[in-house]
Amino acid sequence: MLYQTPTTINAASIEALIGNTPLLAFRNITAHLPADVRVFAKAEWANPGGSVKDRAAANIIREAEAAGKLRPGTTILDSTSGNTGIAYAMLGAAKGYKVKLFLPANASQERVAILRAYGAELVLTDPLEGSDGAIRAVRELIAAHPDEYFYADQYNNPANWRAHYNSTGVEIWEQTDGAVTHFIAGLGTSGTLMGTGRRLKDYNPDVQIIALQPDSPFHGLEGLKHMPTAIKPGIYDEFFPDRQIGISTEDTHSMARRLAREEGYLVGISAAAATVGALQIANELVERGEPGVIVTLFPDNAYKYLSDHRVWGV
């Protein structure tokens, strides 16, 4: 037999590895549900940068290049809680762009280490101000030096939600053979919820789109926003979701441990929050005697959070 050269992808096209993530089922935490109520989650850690944010970052860069806003020698600038910044840094390294990021100083040490490994320039902002503090700081810089950077502006850039309209929503529809009845996602930039939700509504207006957010302005859900007290992203339409659910930090941390120990899914904090919300919807369907196919996504795995002893106790 002749040796077959394996398919290769060069660094500049690493974005070709983004998307088409697997749909996961559950064994134990859904064991109480009847056969006609099913829960699934997209394993977004399978993206090359390790999170769902690869999708948004790649499309923001792609659209900026097409519009002539991002050219060789330009520095990509944005605020981030971590994952989008990692995606910018990965793609910037692959494509030859410098990357400068503002992020809260209390971002997990793993995220900061990954960003520095990719060569990103970091500006750490007041941890008490969270992601909003990083947003304000980056806005001050771009206002003072508007021509020195490409400001990716993930919270207000429609390329963010369009990434999910063109990929995540399509994948969920195809992976469930059009049977999805509920889509649930946490609110950070809101791009995942808005883009995926719009695509699913285009396929079937009866699909319920459910937004998750922390139940308090003082919370431990890194990457998620309590919208009533936060800087609201420009891409977020608060009237679009069919329903809003508040998720507690305690329930989320408990679910993160359960997913690891009962399912073998070592997931990040926002993924655990999504599971709490998905099970709430599933239990409500059971109480009403209704069937359903509930899909959420796991934005990342837990490898960037293991230093948080409040969650893992390790």
Active site residues: 53, 270
* CB neighbourhood size of 196 (10 A): 30
Cα(297)–Cα(149) distance, rounded to whole angstroms?
32
Tell me whether strands 37-43 and 23-24 are parallel, antiparallel or unpaired: antiparallel
Residue identified by tokens 């994948």 is 171
3-state secondary structure of 267: strand
3-state secondary structure of 186: strand
Give, for 149, the enclosing helix (H) or strand (E). Answer: strand 149-151
Give, for 58, the enclosing helix (H) or strand (E). Answer: helix 53-66
Cα(97)–Cα(84) distance, rounded to whole angstroms?
15
* Cross-strand bridge partners of residue 244: 211
Residue 210, amino acid: I
CA distances from 196 to 91, 145, 211, 308 (A): 23, 34, 12, 30
If you ran DSSP here, which 8-state letter would residue 180 be given?
-
Q: Is the separation of the CB atoms in 221 and 209 below 8 Å?
A: no
Residue 86 token pair: 């990692």
